[in-house]
């Protein structure tokens, strides 16, 4: 897909007439934009199919300039399109994607229009063609030729950052409605129209992930007067409800000298909507209604996937908690009364393994028990600097009996882990979890 088109003719170097004077209006039927600089005529073919674009330009030139000597170069970068037009042998030279650098390689460096002070330096290092220059490394070019040489090196590699066409300002969301058969004086009907326009504009903003900082309500009156009323919001927003509250107040306080024949609602300034980062269930975001709707959709799609822990007084941690299915309304219901602030002090949280992991543990005798001094986990050995315990837990009946000695251990890297020895199985040790 070609993106840049360059038109050049030997006659343009001496002709007094502007080459774009006659061709520009006609070329605009094929491409959205044209530009003229340094005796070249550029066409913007970005987003257009290359073969169809070249055919339409050739046909247009044959109709507008019979027996012309205009050469056309089409490529994905400006420098390649320029060389194709000014040094190409055919009336039309179209360079395929991926072949730009190979196309430039045999041409002398002069086609890149280098700074005259680089001529001696290029001659000194034996650089004649674009391919020879492109084969060098950037570091060597910068050392020998300086910043200007690096710019030339990029061009030799078909890397041309020149802004041939100026950037088009992005159109901001807007919506309008005009009528000719009647005039509007009823404020309720006017408000109904403004509401419809606001819905359209807010939808456009939502699709772009933006919020309006400023909007303008433009009213066309029957006496040919245009009344523009600006509105500025305290925070960027795309909420139609908030817009209409402000627009309703605006229409209530202004007095129009004549009936309305048209309404335009446009956005004057936009800002990206950046929401605070946090947990979906963080009740500090005051988003219970949105959370409830989202969770309801998730349950409809996935089933009972929303669970909350329910604890009991069972001595074993893995059996103390069970997970119970919850409704969206329960999870999104704030548990902290409005107006109250609850501060939670920093603390470590126990990360419990769903199934205790067997370990190989080395111990030493301390009073009436064996204390862990090191253990291996997943092939790695960890030293235990200190161990608090044991906390002995036993109970159960028949085959469900248990007897454990729990230790809270500090490893050499500072991690606090929870180990226990199964007293029923002798020297069998497990990791039950860790704190972070």
C-alpha 133/C-alpha 150 separation (Å) is 10
> Which range has the worst mean pLDDT, 82-86, 315-319, 326-330, 424-428?
326-330
For the domain made up of 174-272, give the CATH fold.
Dna Ligase; domain 1 (3.30.1490)
The H-assigned helical ranges of 217-322 are 240-253, 288-302, 317-320
Topology match between the domains 4-156 and 174-272: no
Domain assignments of the chain as residue spans, ordered by start: 4-156, 174-272, 295-332, 350-435
Long-range contacts of 182-186 (CB under 8 A, 24+ apart): 183/222, 183/258, 183/259, 183/260, 183/261, 184/259, 184/260, 184/261, 185/259, 185/260
> Which range has the worst mean pLDDT, 132-146, 157-171, 381-395, 415-429?
157-171
Q: Count CA atoms closer than 13 A to 369's CA, side-chain side.
A: 17
> Which range has the worst mean pLDDT, 153-167, 268-282, 295-309?
268-282
pLDDT category of residue 5 using cuts at 50, 70 and 90: confident
Q: What is the pTM of this model?
A: 0.44
Q: What is the pLDDT of residue 331?
A: 54
**pLDDT tens-digit map of 358-390:** 898 988 888 888 889 899 888 888 898 888 888
For domain 4-156, give its CATH number from 3.30.420.40, 3.30.565.10, 3.40.50.410, 1.10.150.20.
Answer: 1.10.150.20
DSSP 296: H
Q: Is 274 exposed, middle or buried (CB count within 10 Å of its CB: 0-12, 13-18, 19+)?
A: exposed
C-alpha 436/C-alpha 398 separation (Å) is 36
C-alpha 201/C-alpha 198 separation (Å) is 5
Question: Which of 120, 129, 126 shows the shortest CA–CA distance to 148?
Answer: 120
C-alpha 324/C-alpha 187 separation (Å) is 55
Q: What is the pLDDT of residue 266?
A: 92
Q: Which pair of tokens denotes residue 351?
A: 């990360």
Q: What is the pLDDT of residue 24?
A: 66
């Amino acid at each position: 897909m070609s993106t840049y088109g360059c038109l050049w003719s030997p006659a343009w170097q001496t002709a007094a007439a502007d080459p774009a004077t006659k061709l520009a209006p006609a070329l605009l039927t094929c491409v959205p934009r044209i530009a003229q600089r340094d005796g070249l005529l550029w066409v913007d073919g970005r987003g257009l199919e290359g073969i169809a674009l070249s055919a339409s330009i050739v046909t247009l030139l044959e109709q507008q300039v019979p027996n012309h000597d205009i050469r056309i170069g089409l490529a994905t970068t400006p420098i390649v399109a320029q060389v194709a037009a000014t040094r190409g042998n055919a009336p039309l030279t179209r360079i395929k994607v991926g072949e730009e650098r190979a196309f430039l390689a045999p041409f002398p460096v002069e086609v890149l229009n280098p700074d005259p002070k680089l001529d001696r330096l290029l001659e000194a290092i034996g650089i004649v063609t674009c391919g020879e220059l492109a084969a060098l490394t950037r570091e060597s070019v910068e050392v020998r030729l300086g910043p200007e040489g690096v710019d030339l090196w990029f061009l030799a590699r078909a890397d041309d950052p020149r802004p041939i066409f100026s950037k088009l300002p992005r159109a901001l969301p807007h919506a309008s409605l005009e009528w000719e058969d009647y005039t509007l004086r009823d404020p309720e009907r006017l408000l109904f129209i403004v509401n419809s326009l606001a819905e359209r504009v807010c939808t456009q903003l939502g699709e772009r992930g933006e919020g309006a900082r400023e909007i303008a309500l433009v009213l066309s009156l029957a006496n040919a007067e245009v009344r523009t009323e600006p509105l500025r919001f305290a925070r960027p927003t795309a909420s139609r409800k908030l817009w209409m509250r402000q627009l309703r107040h605006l229409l209530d306080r202004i007095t129009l000298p004549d009936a309305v024949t048209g309404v335009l609602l446009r956005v004057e300034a936009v800002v990206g909507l950046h929401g605070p980062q946090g947990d979906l269930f963080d009740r500090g975001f005051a988003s219970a209604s949105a959370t409830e709707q989202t969770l309801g959709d998730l349950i409809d799609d996935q089933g009972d996937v929303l669970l909350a822990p329910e604890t009991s007084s069972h001595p074993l941690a893995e059996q103390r908690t069970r997970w119970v299915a919850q409704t969206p309304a329960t999870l999104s219901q704030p548990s902290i009364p409005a107006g109250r602030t609850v501060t939670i002090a920093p603390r470590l949280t126990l990360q419990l393994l769903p199934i205790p992991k067997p370990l190989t543990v080395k111990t030493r005798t301390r009073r009436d028990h064996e204390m862990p001094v090191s253990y291996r986990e997943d092939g790695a050995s960890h030293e235990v600097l200190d161990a608090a315990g044991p906390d002995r837990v036993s109970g159960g009946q028949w085959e469900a009996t248990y007897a454990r000695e729990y230790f809270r251990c500090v490893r050499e890297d500072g991690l606090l882990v929870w180990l226990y020895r199964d007293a029923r199985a002798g020297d069998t040790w497990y990791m039950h979890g860790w704190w972070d």
